[in-house]
Amino acid sequence: MSESDIDLPPGAAPAEADRLHDADDRLRPEYVRRVMAHVEAGETESARALVEPLHPADIADLFELVDSDERRALAAALEEVLGGEVLAEMNEHVRDELIDTFEPHEVAEVAGEMETDDAVAMIEDMEEDEQRAVLRALDPDDRAAIEEALTYPLESAGRLMQRDLIAVPEHWTIGQVIDYLRAGAELTTDFWEVFVVDGRHHPVGTCMLSWILRTPRHVAVADVMKREQTLIPVDMDQEEVALRFQKYALISAAVVDGSGRLVGMITVDDIVHIIQEEASEDVLLLSGAGEGDINEPVRESYKSRVRWLIANLATALVAASIIHMFEDTISRMVVLAALMPIVTGVGGNAGTQTLAVTVRALATNQLTQSNTWRAIAREIRVACLNGLTVALLLGVGVAVFLDNSLLGMVIAAAMLTNILIAGLAGVMVPLALDRARADPAVASSIFVTMVTDSIGFLLFLGLATASGLVT
Amino acid sequence: MSESDIDLPPGAAPAEADRLHDADDRLRPEYVRRVMAHVEAGETESARALVEPLHPADIADLFELVDSDERRALAAALEEVLGGEVLAEMNEHVRDELIDTFEPHEVAEVAGEMETDDAVAMIEDMEEDEQRAVLRALDPDDRAAIEEALTYPLESAGRLMQRDLIAVPEHWTIGQVIDYLRAGAELTTDFWEVFVVDGRHHPVGTCMLSWILRTPRHVAVADVMKREQTLIPVDMDQEEVALRFQKYALISAAVVDGSGRLVGMITVDDIVHIIQEEASEDVLLLSGAGEGDINEPVRESYKSRVRWLIANLATALVAASIIHMFEDTISRMVVLAALMPIVTGVGGNAGTQTLAVTVRALATNQLTQSNTWRAIAREIRVACLNGLTVALLLGVGVAVFLDNSLLGMVIAAAMLTNILIAGLAGVMVPLALDRARADPAVASSIFVTMVTDSIGFLLFLGLATASGLVT
């Protein structure tokens, strides 16, 4: 197998593949430029021929990669391939921008091609009157399904689920199930598991299709199915749904309403991007970068980030006011001003490390009441080791190079204490927020930085004053 | 449906469930304590009865939740339920600690119960002589499969794949496939798709089981199968594998060797935890928290974190030496010492925001050569808006409260420039590292913090000196 084979995009011949994707399966810039050159020259046919071999996910990427003002021309040229599958894969900001240029009946047309969950994701953010116009243009079945989904809370299982699923009664044999699947012309064709229900339409088990194919016809489906199953309540938050899929390695799961009736199913392919989103959102939340999508409009990014920077400004003022209290000390020994940011900088970093570990453990349900104290004790031990090492290095360095051993001792003591406090704050603040049912990723880092900054300056300048270092 | 139903753990009756899991599907602390009380009292039967209804993933959680010194007693009491399935779900640090107490034949016994990929994950970190002893104790088939997997690089597709799969020749009809599946007693029972291969055993398509069940017997499998398929080279890195599964919404994928032959398959349930890991590792890497697992031994956490703190100490010394250059200025206007950390602190935060957004976009393949300049331009625009807002607030505040408009102008100019530089560094540094094929999440934040700290102090103190503010 040649190198180029390895990057084989679905549906493309190996020779061509080479020119479409790079080693990381991203569309090559040369390819993107070639498509746009055809679009700009009005060579619609050539552009379409270039794009046709792509997977819908790659066509969606193509739209994301070109500039915002090129997208409308690209959409016009690719009208025939720009269907529901492509729009379902597209970044929501890019998609919203694109469908803003569509007529309601055009939106309804692509929504009709989509699975319910994707159609809901596309139209849930529209203005109410536009949304109504789209719904009116849909065919009655699709409309009913989407309208029902829209009655569930945002980001809930009800919005993620598909209604097309296979459910069979528990008293059937494998033979009956096979005959039903092979005969029922109106049944869905894409499914991974069959749900077994009782007389009240409550799910009682699931059956992998491979078990159905490998079991003699006379066996009862109830004897083959797996009885232990994870039922997803229709109003469960998508983050919780994602955690269940991960924990129990699910391929599909039954969604039940308040009375326990089977109302839909969620499949893992709709969940993988949620797992990815939820896992990577912590890094954005910790830094106050909001949604942090590179396709987000500048105005939105500004709004979410500046709020955070202003909060940061406020905490920096607290730290400044602490330094202000010690201006007399600094004026008498101005090298303190040069040294003090070391104590707060390294302390802040130690706090962020503990914070990152704690937030992640909380998000993955690894940190619960049962092991809280152990986790805190663990962070204190790591903080002691880190603090002793860094304080020793810094203290000896300052004592030797500035030829002042008392100053070395003062900065070492401040550094050690600040790293200990950083470790404590880094684990306690997110735990406290989590206990208060707040998202620990959102507000923790502002608190922890404030603590390490304020206490760092206070410790260092306070010790310098109290130790008689400054005369 | 009652509240308790919602938390129904697989296999437990609703009444019992209430006492096992909390609303977030985590084991309740009361339940964990109850199990340990039985274990400590030597009531093995009662402990086992309590644990038996749990899903293997929950039994694994139980081991993670109890203290390190309680785990051996728990393992002894639960010997019968502590099988391959439970160990496969367990945190690797906890598992390594546990299997250290096992004899090689005991490890071989659980490895034999596991799928190849899980067995490999368990024994790949063992000492070489222990690993050899375990391999010798395995039955020849399992041993050959595991030994072959161990020849592939760590974290590669070859280590993740299962060898048990269903492959059928492309000239078969659906009827032949069904008969083969129903007759072949030695075939695996758990699979989601059938791979179609040509005469050289190269995969040419995949077929969902539901299509096989819904298609007439006389149709050729080649007419039903999906030809566009994502082939995973056996040496592909697991992060890449995870990205393909996400992008193309795969349930299972064929793994091929260097000559294009089908050698195994990877299923999505083995990938979801990798998606989660890879997505959440950025937050840990950006803060220098290493692997960041709360079950990691303290010594390991210390080693990875202190290295980072020492690097941070070095960059803080650079910033300190810049302040040192301006000690004369500070001694003549000591309020500068109180104000200067504001410029660097808020600047550092602005840099971290841009960094988080850029690192995430790179990790998810959203940011490629095609849209690099657009992303940079976008970050500069956000930085301008953020910089103007924060600089205005800070400048006016300082001018009014310290009654010094020149100082207000100086700090506003320094703040604006530092936020602009932070934005530039936050997007350029990770892009440069990525272009150099280095992991942008690992080293970026040290660089960016050094830039915002050094330049922040230089700008503020330099402007204060040059503007004639200090006399």
Residue B370, beta-bridge partner list: none
Tell me the C-alpha to C-alpha distance, in Å, between residue B343 and each of A343, B142, B369, B402, B445: 17, 61, 33, 16, 17
Backbone phi and psi for residue B65, each to the nearest 5 degrees, phi listed first: -80, -30
Give residue B4's pLDDT: 37
- Asked if A313 lies within 8 A of B8 by C-beta distance, the reply is no
Chain B interface disruption, residue of A300, A309, A381, most B CBs within 10 A: A309
Quote the CA–CA distance of A169 and A343 in Å, as a whole number: 68
Question: A208 CB contacts (<8 Å, ≥6 apart)?
Answer: A192, A193, A226, B190, B192
Structure tokens at A249: 């390695």
- Asked if A248 lies within 8 A of B10 by C-beta distance, the reply is yes
- Asked if B368 lies within 8 A of A243 by C-beta distance, the reply is no
Number of H helices, E strands in chain A: 24, 6
- Asked if B453 lies within 8 A of A345 by C-beta distance, the reply is yes
**Which amino acid appears at position B277 of this protein?**
E
Domains of chain B with bracketed CATH: 3-156 (1.25.60.10), 167-269 (3.10.580.10), 282-466 (1.10.357.20)
**Chain A residue at shortest CA distance from B291:** A357
Contacts of A382 in chain B (CB under 8 A): 298, 301-302, 305
Contacts of A419 in chain B (CB under 8 A): 309
- Asked if B178 lies within 8 A of A213 by C-beta distance, the reply is yes
Nearest chain A CA: its distance from B133 CA (Å)? 31
Chain A interface disruption, residue of B256, B294, B310, B322, most A CBs within 10 A: B294
A98 Cα distance to chain centroid: 23
Nearest chain A CA: its distance from B463 CA (Å)? 17
**Which amino acid appears at position B325 of this protein?**
M
Contacts of B352 in chain A (CB under 8 A): 287, 289
Give residue B3's pLDDT: 36
Taking CA A408 as the corner, what is the angle to CA B459 and CA B312, rounded to the nearest 5 degrees?
A: 45
- Asked if B370 lies within 8 A of A182 by C-beta distance, the reply is no
Three-state DSSP class for B216?
Answer: coil
**Chain B residue at shortest CA distance from A282:** B283
Nearest chain B CA: its distance from A132 CA (Å)? 31
Quote the CA–CA distance of B184 and B178 in Å, as a whole number: 10
Q: Which secondary structure element, helix H or strand E, spans residue A46, and what is its range?
A: helix A44-51
pLDDT at A126 over 60: yes
Q: What is the 3-state secondary structure (H, E, C) of A404-421?
A: CHHHHHHHHHHHHHHHHH
Q: Are B276 and A279 in contact (CB under 8 A)?
A: yes
Q: Nearest by CB to B319, which of A189, A240, A341?
A: A341
Angle between helices B116-123 and B128-137 (to 10 degrees): 150
pLDDT at A434 over 50: yes
Question: Helix H segments across B248-371?
Answer: 272-286, 298-325, 327-332, 335-363
Q: Nearest by CB to A213, which of B181, B367, B381?
A: B181
ipTM of the complex: 0.86
Structure tokens at B446: 């040290």
Question: B73 CB contacts (<8 Å, ≥6 apart)?
Answer: B39, B40
Structure tokens at A373: 């104290």
**Chain A residue at shortest CA distance from B24:** A240
Q: Nearest by CB to B275, which of A275, A308, A341?
A: A275
- Asked if B64 lies within 8 A of A251 by C-beta distance, the reply is no
Contacts of B24 in chain A (CB under 8 A): 240, 243, 365
Chain B interface disruption, residue of A3, A213, A343, A378, most B CBs within 10 A: A213
DSSP string, A297-355: -HHHHHHHHHHHHHHHHHHHHHHHHHHHHTHHHHHH-THHHHHHHHHHHHHHHHHHHHH
Question: B183 CB contacts (<8 Å, ≥6 apart)?
Answer: none
- Asked if A330 lies within 8 A of B335 by C-beta distance, the reply is no
Contacts of A249 in chain B (CB under 8 A): 57, 269, 272
Contacts of A341 in chain B (CB under 8 A): 316, 319-320, 323, 341, 344, 453, 457
Quote the CA–CA distance of B375 and A151 in Å, as a whole number: 37
Strands A203-208 and A232-233: unpaired
Q: Nearest by CB to A375, which of B294, B350, B356?
A: B294
pLDDT values of chain B reduced to their tens digit, one per residue, 471 residues: 333 333 444 444 445 445 788 888 889 999 999 999 999 999 999 999 999 989 999 999 999 999 988 999 999 999 888 888 899 899 989 999 898 888 899 899 999 888 888 899 898 888 889 899 999 999 998 899 899 999 999 999 999 998 889 999 999 999 999 999 988 777 888 889 999 999 999 999 999 999 999 999 999 999 999 988 889 999 999 989 999 998 888 999 999 999 999 999 999 988 888 888 888 788 788 888 887 788 888 999 999 999 999 999 999 999 999 999 999 999 999 999 999 999 999 999 999 999 999 998 998 888 988 899 999 999 999 999 999 999 999 999 999 999 999 999 999 999 999 999 999 999 999 999 999 988 888 888 889 999 999 999 999 999 999 998 987
Nearest chain A CA: its distance from B259 CA (Å)? 5
pLDDT at A2 over 90: no
Nearest chain B CA: its distance from A43 CA (Å)? 21
Give residue A307's pLDDT: 93
Quote the CA–CA distance of A42 and A26 in Å, as a whole number: 26
Tell me the C-alpha to C-alpha distance, in Å, between residue B155 and each of A120, B297, B427: 37, 21, 29
Rg (CA), chain B: 30
- Asked if B272 lies within 8 A of A57 by C-beta distance, the reply is no
**Chain A residue at shortest CA distance from B318:** A342
Residue B156 has what DSSP assignment?
B
Q: What is the 3-state secondary structure (H, E, C) of B252-278?
A: EEEEECCCCCEEEEEEHHHCHHHHHHH
- Asked if B312 lies within 8 A of A349 by C-beta distance, the reply is yes
The 3-state DSSP composition of chain A as helix, strand, coil percent (nearest 5) reads: 65, 5, 25
Quote the CA–CA distance of B172 and B205 in Å, as a whole number: 13
Question: Helix H segments across B402-439?
Answer: 405-435
Contacts of B6 in chain A (CB under 8 A): 233, 236
Contacts of B11 in chain A (CB under 8 A): 227-228
Give residue B23's pLDDT: 81
Contacts of B338 in chain A (CB under 8 A): 320-321, 323-324, 327
- The string over B311-343, giving b where at least 16 C-beta atoms fall within 10 Å of a residue's C-beta and e elsewhere, is bbbebbbebbebbbebbebbbebbbbbbbbbbb
Question: A13 CB contacts (<8 Å, ≥6 apart)?
Answer: A53
Q: Nearest by CB to A368, which of B65, B289, B344?
A: B65
Structure tokens at B88: 């496969």
Token pair 């650079």 in the structure block, residue: B318
Query: Largest Cα–Cα distance in chain B?
Result: 96
- Asked if A346 lies within 8 A of B309 by C-beta distance, the reply is yes
Chain B interface disruption, residue of A186, A210, A239, A344, most B CBs within 10 A: A210
Work out the mean pLDDT of chain A and round it to a whole number.
Answer: 90
Contacts of A294 in chain B (CB under 8 A): 357-358, 361, 366-367, 371, 375, 378
- Asked if B365 lies within 8 A of A240 by C-beta distance, the reply is no
Q: Nearest by CB to B283, which of A210, A317, A356?
A: A356
> pLDDT digit string (tens) for B398-437?
999 999 999 999 999 999 999 999 999 999 999 999 999 8
Tell me the C-alpha to C-alpha distance, in Å, between residue A447 and each of A82, A350, A433, A444: 47, 14, 11, 5
Quote the CA–CA distance of A126 and A166 in Å, as a whole number: 32
Q: Nearest by CB to B305, which of A321, A355, A386?
A: A386
pLDDT at A36 over 90: yes
- Asked if A29 lies within 8 A of B187 by C-beta distance, the reply is no
Q: What is the spatial order of strands in the sheet that A203-208 belongs to?
A: A167-169, A193-197, A203-208
